[in-house]
Amino acid sequence: MIEAGDGQPLLSGVKVIDLTSVVFGPYATQILADMGADVIKVEPPAGDQFRPGTRPAVTPGMGSGWMAVNRGKRSVALDLKSADDLAVMQQLLAEADVFVVNVRGKAMERLGLDYAAVSAINPAIIYAHCVGFGQDGPYADLQAYDDVIQAASGTTTLLPRVDGVAKPRYLPSLIADKVSGLHAAYAIQAALIHKLRTGRGQHVEIPMFEAFTSFMMLEHLGDQTFVPPIGPAGYPRQLDPDRQPFRASDGWLSIVAYTNGAWDRIFAVLGEPEFLNDERFADAKLRFFNSAALYQRMAELTPRYTVDDLLARLQAVDIPAQKVRDLDEVIADEHLNATGFFRQRSHPSEGDYIEMRSPVRFSDANLPAVAMPPQLDQHGADLRQCGGK
């Protein structure tokens, strides 16, 4: 956990009951665990459905996805339809600061764990409800998964706008889940600050559809921002089919021409500064409207160089550029390894594995390792006996 200068974890003393599954909620609660909160993950007897992973692990239920979003937590398996296990849950909640749940509201009401019931047990609790859709809209009772949120938010139409292939496509990432998890983490911490100031708990709703739409439409609301609209949605720079990675003789790289002066330095590096003498590129405004021609000529010139040669030349004149890495190469990145981002640990049952540390740093804190991802019900006996202490 991250320890503050007083020797205590940053969220020392904060107890979180985590009744979430898959990625949205677990990602949020892992961030809290990284900050030092005591996160108790409550799972059904069969375990979180994300536990198995895509390939068999050393121990069933310890898949790679599970390992990635559940470090620093304690696990207890409870059948909340059982009176005895529900009583354990109620005791855990009575002593908690935060309850994070991604079960739909009606199901929580049937279990007797809706906000009204839980706040009756613990009036100061922060009840963070990770839902698919805002509960005051017509989609309130619908199921939400990353795919359907990408579809509903317009995200599946972004790649077609770039490459002209009309078929809608998902971005190949659980991006809606992860973005929503970040929203949940900051919302919970804001509610904790409010509780410190007022002593009051509250219900916090984090709707996945709204959270992800706000993230994606930040730039892509575009010219629909104004009333009446002055143009279509979409941020042209991100949707430019020519502003893509460039081929070198031995690979690919990203080159960013963000300012007007960058074009001059780039074409000097590529050995053709006179290309900019064309009247189409006489000033910054003309270069902006004729950027397709600039990118297309860059794409014709970059294959004359190796990736390393181009990177050295571009970085020497302060042009942002990076090699395009395959996913399998990222783990060997020299910067990430120099900063300790990837670290190898040895799990008592799973053996050696790679963990990504929290990416944030604090000047009055250090970053010791949090506890390892737990097996199902690993802490169940102690938690049932001690009521979560």
- Residue 360: CATH number of its domain: 3.40.50.10540
192 shares its domain with 306: no
pLDDT at residue number 386: 67
Q: How far apart are CA 29 and CA 35, in angstroms?
A: 10
Confirm whether 241 is domain-assigned. Answer: no
* Residue 111, both tokens: 């279990």
Q: Is residue 233 part of a domain?
A: no
How far apart are alpha carbons 160 and 353 in whole angstroms? Answer: 38
388 pLDDT higher than 60: no
| Phi/psi of residue 76, nearest 5 degrees | -135, 135
Average pLDDT rounded to a whole number, residues 33-44: 96
Average of per-residue pLDDT values in the chain: 94
40 pLDDT more than 70: yes
Nearest to 188 by CA among 6, 67, 15: 15
pLDDT at 30: 97
Instruction: Among 323, 355, 375, give the residue marking a domain's end.
Output: 323
Of 270, 289, 323, the position where a domain reaches its end is 323
Question: Could you give the count of Cα atoms lying within 13 Å of 328 in the half-sphere of its Cβ?
Answer: 0
Same domain, 365 and 306: no
Q: Is the pTM of this model over 0.75?
A: yes
Q: Do 37 and 93 fall within a single domain?
A: yes
Statement to judge: residues 68 and 168 lie in one domain: yes
Q: How many domains does the chain have?
A: 2
Cα–Cα dist 382/370, whole Å: 19
Q: What is the pLDDT of residues 273-293, one digit of tens each?
A: 999 999 999 999 999 999 999
Q: Considering 270, 294, 323, which residue would you say is the last residue of a domain?
A: 323
- Greater confidence (227 vs 386) lies with 227
Instruction: Return the percentage of the chain with pLDDT > 90, whole number.
Output: 90
pLDDT for position 364 = 85
Pair (172, 278) in one structural domain: no
The predicted structure's pLDDT at residue 171: 96
Q: What is the CATH number of the domain that holds 317?
A: 3.30.1540.10
Q: What are phi and psi of 42, to 5 degrees?
A: -95, 120
Confidence (pLDDT) at 367: 58
- What is the domain extent for residue 254? 246-323
CA dist., res. 265 & res. 288, Å (int): 16
Q: What is the pLDDT of residues 311-322, one digit of tens each?
A: 999 999 999 999
Per-residue model confidence as pLDDT tens digits over 247-275? 999 999 999 999 999 999 999 999 999 99
Residue that has been written with the tokens 């890495």 in this structure? 325
Please tell me the predicted confidence (pLDDT) of residue 157: 97
Evaluate whether residue 152 is within a structural domain.
yes
Strands 321-323 and 98-101: unpaired
The verdict on 168 and 273 lying in the same domain is no
pLDDT in tens, 322-370: 999 999 999 999 999 999 999 999 999 999 999 999 999 888 876 567 8
Residues 76 and 146 in one domain: yes
H-helix or E-strand spanning residue 273: none
Radius of gyration of the chain measured on its C-alpha atoms: 25
What values do phi and psi take at 342, rounded to 5? -90, 130
Q: State the CB neighbour count (10 A cutoff) for residue 222.
A: 18
Residue 108 pLDDT > 70, yes or no? yes
Placement of tokens 């490459």 in the chain: 163
In a domain, 132, yes or no: yes
27 and 132 housed in the same domain: yes
Provide the token pair at 203: 């219900």
37/94 same-domain check: yes
- Is 353 part of a structural domain of the chain? yes
